[in-house]
Structure 1
Amino acid sequence: MILLVPADSLRPRRVDDHFAAEAEAARALGIDVALVDHDRLARRGGAEEAVRRVHAEGVAVYRGWMVRSERYAEFAGALRRRNIVLCTTPEQYRRAHEMPGWYAELSALTPRSVWTIGTARPEFDRALQRLGAGPAVLRDYSKSMKHYWNDAAFIPETGDGAAAWRVANRFRELRGADLTGGFVLRTYEPFVSAEIRTWWIGGRCHLIGPHPDSPQDTPPPDFDAAVAQQPIRDLGLPFVTADFALRAGGTWRLIELGDGQVSDRPRTIPPETLVEALRDGFAPVSPAGAASVDQ
């Protein structure tokens, strides 16, 4: 396995500080580590230059900053021309990274959701009607702005179209060019716990820990990831994270699924723990086998 990590933008021969501990853990385990220029990767057409320092060959796992699905596809193509196959194909990355890709299989575990294609007002108004009356939470296909809860995330009543549109406009303003796909409206559910982040490799839960936003909140011992075992396995995705929170009334609910390559690790999970899980989880995969996956 090769671990691909972002280079420091000011010191391109060094690992970005945010991922340095994982890179060090990988090297200690005998795993090749290669640097990727994230700034170039994030630009259209920049993938070839972004991977010019990558020389190893084989199957790779990326652990880095979030990139759009289109840029990930360019990334995979540039690496493939260097005889490197990402563990997650572009199609798999999009399914995990963008909510419409995973919602159908996991809809029983997560708040009811509808979405638009694009950000036009008529589409947004139709989505409000489809969701139905009541409070809702707004996001796009890949990210929310929950840290701007009252301004750009929470809609107290979907029936008030003008007020809902003000929230949507603020969300669109804050996301800017990073806005992905369109608006997603989710039925608001009250939660009574901090989020739990679970890590899945090959459809099996390898790690359960806190969410990066609340790294000191240890998951309660009664949390059982088995509730999501079969639906996540059915997605057929090689490396994902799934975040859960306890709903008022005592049911664990899925908040988010994400591609594990671009999901943050809370500092309370040792980097060795995650890297060892990746090494063990992808150990049976060979370059020839990975290359046979439809890309």
Structure 2
Amino acid sequence: MLLLVPGDVLRPRRPDEHFAAEAEAARAVGAGVAVIDHDALTGGGSAEAAVARVPAGSDAVYRGWMLRASQYAALAAALAGRDVTLRTGAGAYRQAHELPGWYAAAVPHTPPTVWTAGDSAADFAAACASLGDGPAVLRDYTKSMKHYWHEAAYIPSVSDPDAAWKVASRFRELRDDEFTGGFVLRRFEPLTGAEARTWWIGGECRLITAHPDTPADLPPAGLDPGFLTPVITSLGLPFITADLARHSDGRWRLVEIGDGQVSDRPSSTPPADLISALAG
């Protein structure tokens, strides 16, 4: 396995500090490590230049900052030109990274959800109407603004179009150029406690960790994510995360699926744990 990580901005031949420990753990188990130029990839530069330091002929896994699906596709194509194959292809990355790609498979275990294509007010109003009455949580295809909960995430009632659009407008303003796909409305469910992050490789849950936002809140010892195995298997994705939270009625609910390559590892999980799962 070749681990690809972003290079440090000031010392581009070295891994970015955020991923340096994972790079060290990869070397410790005999895996290769190469750095890519994240700024070249995302800032309008050349994808070929971004991968100039990657050796040819390898099976590669990316561990780095979030990429748009189009940027990831450019990365995959540039690597293919160097005879390097990402385990997660461009189509699989988009499917895991963007909610519409995985939602249908997860319907029994996740809140009812509707979305728009684009950011028009008319389409947003239609989405609100299709969800019905009651509260909802707003995001786009890849991200919420949950740290701006009352102004850009939580909608008290989707049947109040003016108030709902005020939240959506603030969300759109905050996401700015990072806004992806369209508005996503998820029916609000009462969840308790911290989220847990589960890591799935080849359809198997290989690691259960805290969520990176709450690294000290470790998952309960009895958490069994096996109820998600049929969902994950049906998706056929090579490396993903699934974030879980407990409903007030005691059930574990799926909050989100994400591509594992760009899912943050909580500080409470040793980097060797994740790298060993990937290299195994």
The interval holding the TM-score normalised by the smaller chain is over 0.9
TM normalised by structure 2 equals 0.99
Give the Å deviation of 1:232: 0.6
Q: Which moved further from structure 2: 35-44 or 89-98?
A: 35-44
Structure 1: runs of 5+ lacking an equivalent: 281-295
What does the per-residue CA deviation read over 1:26-68, in whole Å, with 9 as the maximum and x for residues that have no partner?
Answer: 0111111000111111134621111111124211000000000
Partner-residue secondary structure (3-state), 2:209: strand
Counterparts of 1:33-48 in structure 2, within 5 Å, are: 33-44=33-44, 46-48=46-48
Distance 1:168 1:59 in 2: 41
- One-letter amino acid matched to 2:215: P
Matched, 1:270 2:275: no
Is the 8 Å Cα contact of residues 44 and 71 (structure 1) preserved in structure 2? no
Is the 8 Å Cα contact of residues 39 and 45 (structure 2) preserved in structure 1? no
Aligned-pair RMSD on alpha carbons? 0.8
Matched, 1:124 2:113: no
Partner-residue secondary structure (3-state), 1:181: coil
Taking only the aligned residue pairs, the percentage that are identical comes to 58
TM normalised by structure 1 equals 0.94
- One-letter amino acid matched to 1:235: L
Is the 8 Å Cα contact of residues 45 and 74 (structure 1) preserved in structure 2? no
Which residue does 1:287 correspond to in 2? none
Matched, 1:200 2:200: yes
- One-letter amino acid matched to 1:223: L
Distance 1:200 1:53 in 2: 29
Paired residue total: 280
Is the 8 Å Cα contact of residues 210 and 266 (structure 1) preserved in structure 2? yes
Distance 2:182 2:225 in 1: 30
Matched, 1:212 2:212: yes
Which residue does 1:86 correspond to in 2? 86
Distance 2:43 2:68 in 1: 10
Distance 2:100 2:265 in 1: 24
Which residue does 1:286 correspond to in 2? none
Matched, 1:27 2:27: yes
Counterparts of 1:274-285 in structure 2, within 5 Å, are: 274-280=274-280
Q: Which runs of 4+ in 1 moved over 2 A?
A: 43-46
Which residue does 1:246 correspond to in 2? 246
Which residue does 2:72 correspond to in 1? 72
Structure 2: runs of 5+ lacking an equivalent: none
Which residue does 1:191 correspond to in 2? 191
Counterparts of 1:60-209 in structure 2, within 5 Å, are: 60-209=60-209
What does the per-residue CA deviation read over 1:242-273, in whole Å, with 9 as the maximum and x for residues that have no partner?
Answer: 00000011010000000000000001110001
Distance 2:21 2:96 in 1: 25
- One-letter amino acid matched to 2:163: A
Distance 1:120 1:133 in 2: 21
